[in-house]
Structure 1
């Protein structure tokens, strides 16, 4: 008897349909100002969720849901902050090369 693995079957379906999915994806132009507005909205939503969680009973279902929501919003905020960075961080300019060992021969 063979057991069906729905996640494996779904991933196969997605991989098979991926060329057509990429063609049908619509893109929108987003400006840095739009991203800043979204960051402001998400920060206010996170602050409100934190305030509600602080008033909820400890260990309740609501507290768990709000904790996961706050974590998700925090992740989204960090990703949006990353998108707003204009130039990548240059690791070699940080001065770590002077403390590193010489390359192996």
Structure 2
């Protein structure tokens, strides 16, 4: 009986993974202010996780989970900082129609 349940769960996971192919991502328009608000939320969540980790027993499972969580939040914050600092790709293009030099 357990194998049948596992097979059903596996087939559901495979079908959901197949539905999210790389070419079908949905774009969401987000303003700089909204990104800054997300960053503020992530910073507060990281600070709270650090405070909880500092009160947890050393070497515990909770400490290791919180350490990984804090590292993940730090990576997300650095990526958002980079995205806010970089210019859009379309702004860098000077000649949109010409990619190569003319043939001889």
| TM-score, normalized by the shorter chain, greater than 0.5 | yes
Q: Using the alignment, how far apart are the partners of 1:25 and 1:54 within structure 2?
A: 38
TM, length-normalised to structure 2 = 0.62
Q: Where do 5+ consecutive residues of structure 1 fail to align?
A: 1-9, 88-105
The 4+ residue runs of structure 1 with deviation greater than 3 A are: none
Q: Where do 5+ consecutive residues of structure 2 fail to align?
A: 1-13, 88-104
Query: In the comparison of the two structures, how many residue pairs are matched?
Result: 72
Q: Say yes or no: does 1:41 pair with 2:38.
A: no
- Per-residue CA deviations over 1:56-95 (Å, capped at 9, x if unaligned) read 00000000000000000000000000011045xxxxxxxx
- For 2:84, the equivalent position in structure 1 comes to 84
Instruction: Give the superposed CA RMSD.
Output: 2.3
Q: Using the alignment, how far apart are the partners of 1:25 and 1:61 within structure 2?
A: 35
